[in-house]
Amino acid sequence: MRLSLAATVALANISAVSSAALVQQQQQGTVNLISIMLQVSKVTQEKAIDVWDHDSKSILAQSCSDSLQHGLFQQDAIAFQTDEKYGAGNFTLGSKSFVISDDPNLNQDASCTRIVSDDEFVITCHVPFVVPATAPAAAAVRRGLNDCFHKAGSVDLLSVAQGFEAGAQDSQSLAALSSQQLAFVNDTATDEEKRDLDKRQAGQCSIWTQVTNRVGNGNPHQNPWNVQVSQPMQCPGHIGCSVGHGTSYEVGWSANVGLVYQWISAGFAVQASVQTGNEYTCHGDKGQYFAVWRKIGTTAYTVRNGNYNSCTGTQPTGSNFIIWSPNSNNVGSYFYCVYGKSAVRWMGDRWLDKSANNPGGP
């Protein structure tokens, strides 16, 4: 079974439980690495806890608060005590208390990461837990977000946190994924205007033009890019610190094929490229490792290449493919802070959040 990057780092950090203790615990049940995720809306003060098994595929317990004491955790309650702005603090599992950090000098048998925006934060902690031998085999039924967060738009970071937990498989260097160096034309011209242009240039039916057209309604959905826009920062062991960024990056459109005849907006409020901006600051406590990230609202839509002639119209070529274009007017875009070495990358790295897949345009 393949573990995520975060879980792998957590396993490397978790070393305090002695072999003798593990043997004793295993006699009582199975020692699993569990993931405890706390999501908090700063806007509505609504909260939720999800507890997963180590492969992040089955739910063990849930709660619509920052504490949980039922089911497998009736005797080993979970409770978070966090700063309302940045989510820093600690949590308890049974009689043990842990700092919300992935620093092995602070936590010998737990590892936590944090993702914090202006409106919410998500904390994910990995910690060993003895699943009792008498525990039911069936996993809990996963609740929907509306069960805990009733105000639309009050939470958005969950898919980002899950992407980091999964290791962000689409992560690549921003420099390697800059706007495709392909010419694109204004896609607002009508078929009649194209026919008139053909006639003026060289006579009717004499010119074929390579075009890209939307397929049907384009099946639009939101697949945001996540870009690290600062260098990693680690605060000294005796004092807190901050990190900002002074460079604005260009994030351009992309596609899942190598040959695109032309970039088109396909009628959606998108553009060929955007700038990340350069004004945001993240704050950390002593010893913390963190960086500034930006989510870039991005619309995915289905298109197809074709050859256009004023007499025959467009003759499709190749198969349907997807274009990802940044949303206009920064719709769906915002800065956030990432804490933890298992999540922080290098300035300019980015990954595409395909898990979000929220239907609709910007």
**Structure-block tokens of residue 93:** 């599992």
The average confidence (pLDDT) of the chain is: 81
Regarding beta strands 289-296 and 233-234, do their DSSP bridges make them parallel or antiparallel, or are they unpaired?
Answer: antiparallel
Range from 201-205, 207-211, 279-283, 323-327 carrying the lowest mean pLDDT:
201-205
Q: Is residue 56 over pLDDT 80?
A: no
Element (DSSP H or E) covering residue 99: strand 96-99
DSSP-based three-state secondary structure for 191: helix
Contact 220, 360 (CB under 8 A): yes
pLDDT at 202: 53
- Return d(Cα 270, Cα 1) in angstroms, integer: 40
- Return d(Cα 336, Cα 355) in angstroms, integer: 18
Average pLDDT of the residues in 31-38? 90
Average pLDDT of the residues in 163-184? 51
DSSP-based three-state secondary structure for 80: strand
Per-residue pLDDT tens over the stretch 63-76: 999 999 999 899 99
DSSP, res 278: S
Higher pLDDT, 112 or 26: 112
Helices of type H across the chain: 5-13, 19-28, 158-165, 191-202
- Return d(Cα 318, Cα 309) in angstroms, integer: 17
Q: Is residue 22 over pLDDT 50?
A: no
As a whole-number percent, the residues of the chain with pLDDT over 70 amount to 75
Average pLDDT of the residues in 318-340? 95
**Structure-block tokens of residue 175:** 């420099």
Per-residue pLDDT tens over the stretch 93-152: 999 999 999 888 887 789 999 999 999 999 999 999 987 666 654 455 555 556 888 876
Q: Is residue 86 over pLDDT 80?
A: yes
pLDDT at 16: 41
Per-residue pLDDT tens over the stretch 241-252: 999 876 788 999
pLDDT band at 17 (very low <50, low <70, confident <90, very high): very low
pLDDT at 230: 92
pLDDT at 112: 94
